[in-house]
Amino acid sequence: MKPGHDHHFTLCPISYIGFSWCPGCGLGRAINLMLHGHFSASFSMHPLAGLAIVVIIWRIIQLIKNIKNFNYYG
């Protein structure tokens, strides 16, 4: 990586095709910013970070419910 360079190493296939915006690029950093309370920076990095956090929390709850049901009835 070269300091001050705009482009960085990525494994994103959409970025390699040449599109400037990808629905997944920056989502992890945006979630991290939102969890640390930097909401405007998170939204500017990726506007779907809030929705992603809600989906992740919902999925964790569903997995916990499935584990509880499996332990008693499985």
pLDDT at 24: 80
pLDDT at 8: 62
DSSP 4-30: T-S------HHHHHT-S--SSTTHHHH
CB 27 within 8 A of CB 49: yes
Work out the angle at residue 73's Cα, subtended by the Cα atoms of residues 70 and 74, and round it to the nearest 5 degrees. Answer: 55
Tens digit of pLDDT for each residue in 8-47? 666 778 877 887 777 788 888 899 999 999 999 999 988 9
